[in-house]
Amino acid sequence: MSIRVGIVGISGFGGGEALRLVAGHPHFDLVYAAGEGSAGSRLGERFPGLPARLADLVIRKWDPAGLPALDLLFASLPTGTSAAALAQVPDRVKIVDLGGDHRDAEGWAYGMADLWPERIRGQQRVANPGCFPAATLTALAPLLAGGLVEPGNIIIDAKTGISGAGRGGASNGFGYAESNENLVPYGLLRHVHMPEMARAIERLGGGSAAGLVFTPHLVPMTRGLLATIYTRGQATTEQCLDAARRFYAGRPFIRVTERPPQTKWATGSNLAFVSYAADPERGLVMAMGAIDNLGKGAAGQAVQNANLLCGLPETAGLEGMPVWP
């Protein structure tokens, strides 16, 4: 089964990671690549390690009216730039949008593949979650669904690698000189992922998420994301772990661990590691989620969603081990 695939925004970090996964996918055939600054160059010039069969594919300027015959399109564009263009893509083309324009849009499934795969299978349009929601909601979901914590009293402290700022991060003060040996909080009280997380928390917990607090940080590493989440509840650590083991039973990409998770465990993979620590006497439950922000937080989850869209095994092209060390 050969599925004709295109990638828009291929020269960005998310698009480049999508390229890496598509290039090794057993059912995907990349026939279209589009970008802005890279248009006109060959893929092999931008990505010298590509398989030879893809090296001569020329990157085109993104034009939704000029698409070749495609079955599936990955769109990795900055939030706020994709809605109008993707509306011009023919309905027959399946789309996975890695950007933020469609996460609450009518006609688009929300692509938390490990939580709601049945809402994605057979759809035509899927909006990938943001990287912070991917780590946070994966850790919180078993607790909220099991009624072990309160949805209205959640504090999220999350840290991501610099690639989370995108390739344009250097122009925003997130280049090497500014980021090396530095820790930077940003997007305080108004981060674009806040509404997305609040909606999902309310869906899972059945109550208001009005008390949600979220503080993201950039840390001086290339990739990786760790979310530490503080909630209120009377559960024990073992009850939280048991709830997660039951909730994710049979899910191929979730690892429930008794040890606090580390970002390095997930590097280069679509895995998510979750763990918990609880103190019932204080009514405190801590949830932790670790992912690769370009893997489960972006392109890995996008390929998982695409597999569900296309009726393929969910793990197709995603079973490689993380990179270590």
Catalytic site positions: 131
DSSP letter at 58?
Answer: B
Element (H or E) spanning 216, and its range?
strand 213-218
Name 73's bridge partners: 6, 95
Measured CA to CA, the distance from residue 282 to residue 229 in angstroms comes to 16
Query: What is the torsion angle, in degrees rounded to the nearest 10, for the CA atoms of residue 286, residue 287, residue 288 and residue 294?
Result: -140
User: How many H helices and E strands in the chain?
Assistant: 9, 14
Coil, strand or helix at 184: strand
Give me 193's structure tokens: 């992922």
DSSP letter at 129?
Answer: P
Q: Are 225 and 294 in contact (CB under 8 A)?
A: no
Coil, strand or helix at 137: helix
Q: Are 110 and 103 in contact (CB under 8 A)?
A: yes
Q: Are 216 and 132 in contact (CB under 8 A)?
A: yes
Name 110's bridge partners: 127
